Structure 1
Amino acid sequence: MMGLARRAMSRVPDIGFWKLCGSGTGEGFTPIPNTGVYAILACWPDQDTAVHRLATTDVFRRYRSQASECWTLFLRTTSVRGAWSGQAPFQPGAAAPGKPVAALTRATIKPAAALKFWRRVPDISRMVGDDPNVAFKIGIGEVPLLHQITFSIWPDPETMAAFARTNGPHAAAIRAVRDGKWFSEELYARFDILGDRGSWNGASPLCALETAA
């Protein structure tokens, strides 16, 4: 369905930028695919439209009929820089201060740099998995090895920024990417969390944020 749904997705009313993605095993940040977990990213004019189209459009109904579990997260962009497939898919607005934040990074890795990049990923993955502040994290991608997306949810922007800047493997990887120019395209975005529906492993990952609060 991930391969054959592209024509149906392109005909969904009101949908903007969209991507169909696979995921990695373990914490998700690995080049080994997890054939049981897939992600759909879609942009909509507003949350009410998103809820309506997800509930009533045939292609989304078919996905749900084939899934043992579905989790949908509704987000509002607060900051973005870079491009994705040559486009600017997200339109930022004002952030809600002191609220949980979702972070997305997306990169097209140059083939010559792919091995260098993936050698650094296991250390970063372990650090993300061990961080008690991360409410949710996953690595997804459009094309294995070369198109990499990371997505994570944090209790607040300060906690997320502290991990990105002070974590040893992560900070070192960022420096290596910049110095070596490993990416041919990259995008970084932050989002406010508007709500969710469904479950992940039997519960909402947002419950971890409520417990921490």
Structure 2
Amino acid sequence: MQIVSLSFFRFASPLARFWALGMMGVARLSMPRIAGIGFWKLCGSGTGEGFTPLPNTAVYAILATWPDLGTAQRQTGTASLFRRYRSRACESWTLFLSPISARGEWSGASPFVPQKDDSTGPIAALTRATIKPRRALRFWARVPDISQVIGADPNVLFKIGIGELPLLHQITFSIWPDTETMAHFARHDGPHARAIRAVRDGAWFREELYARFRITAEAGQWDGVSPRILTDIKETAA
């Protein structure tokens, strides 16, 4: 059963941030050598709510696919590259995700293998797009309104904007309490819905992918909470 790991790393000092920036290039040599790894991507992040073109030099992410949960947990915990990232970071957090739906492509591939899903509870959404250069300014003009709406939504448990290349290769990742609240946000006739219509009408993207996941496990801490999402869900349910 395929598992997707999404690891976030926060770097505090200027030297650590400079190291992380350099690893966006250097780590490409090491990633394919990690045993069991499939599809992978190295990503930076955005400032503010995360959905902005301005880079956040403190936060970086690694996304990877694995054949099963045991391999994912073992390699993200012990592989040399992941240990190097954690040794430089002031905090790190890894989510282990089970794909339940996916459509579209990422770098010409279909990286996620959806599984049958009969469960309920928290759901993660990932949207990835390659923006056509001539449409980039129009796309980013929409983003501040979308970011503000997401930030004000009391239902969203976690949100971040990451990407492989500033301005053109963008990923949004968010976690919601359940499918219904996520769908309500997507359907609501606000900045997000209007942006989606504009994207469709104007063909702004060269490539796009939409995926949904169940959260299988997590490790580490983020914003001083460990673990964050599963703890929040349990407290809400209680």
Q: TM-score, normalised by structure 2?
A: 0.88
Aligned twin of 1:208:
232
- Report the CA distance between 1:152 and its aligned residue: 0.2
Identity %: 66
Superposition pairs of residues 112-123 of structure 1, within 5 angstroms: 112-123=134-145
Kindly indicate whether the alpha-carbon contact (under 8 Å) linking 1:16 and 1:44 is maintained by their aligned counterparts in 2: yes
Q: Which runs of 5+ in 1 are unaligned?
A: none
Aligned twin of 2:182:
160
Aligned pair partner of 2:91 in 53, 69, 79: 69
Partner Cα separation in structure 2 for residue 143 and residue 164 of structure 1: 25
Provide runs of 4+ in structure 1 moved above 6 Å: none
Matched residue count: 213
Please give the per-residue CA displacement for 1:13-68, whole angstroms capped at 9, x wherever unaligned.
10000000000001100000000000100000011001111122111111111100
Partner Cα separation in structure 2 for residue 172 and residue 211 of structure 1: 34
Q: TM-score, normalised by structure 1?
A: 0.98
Aligned pair partner of 1:79 in 101, 109, 112: 101
Partner Cα separation in structure 1 for residue 55 and residue 234 of structure 2: 31
Aligned pair partner of 2:79 in 57, 72, 75: 57
Partner Cα separation in structure 1 for residue 166 and residue 173 of structure 2: 16
Tell me, yes or no, if structure 1 residue 199 matches structure 2 residue 202: no
RMSD: 0.9
Q: Which runs of 5+ in 2 are unaligned?
A: 1-22
Task: Write the letter of the residue equivalent to 2:65.
Answer: C
Tell me, yes or no, if structure 1 residue 48 matches structure 2 residue 70: yes
Task: Write the letter of the residue equivalent to 1:211.
Answer: E
Distance verdict in 2 for CA 1:201–1:140, change over 3 Å: same
Q: What SS is found at the alignment partner of 1:193?
A: strand
Tell me, yes or no, if structure 1 residue 170 matches structure 2 residue 192: yes
- Report the CA distance between 1:208 and its aligned residue: 2.8
Partner Cα separation in structure 2 for residue 160 and residue 91 of structure 1: 21
Q: Identify which of structures 1 and 2 has the higher relative contact order when contacts are C-alpha pairs closer than 8 Å and 6+ apart.
A: 1
Superposition pairs of residues 12-51 of structure 1, within 5 angstroms: 12-51=34-73
Please give the per-residue CA displacement for 1:134-177, whole angstroms capped at 9, x wherever unaligned.
00000000000000100000011111011001140000000000
Partner Cα separation in structure 1 for residue 66 and residue 119 of structure 2: 23
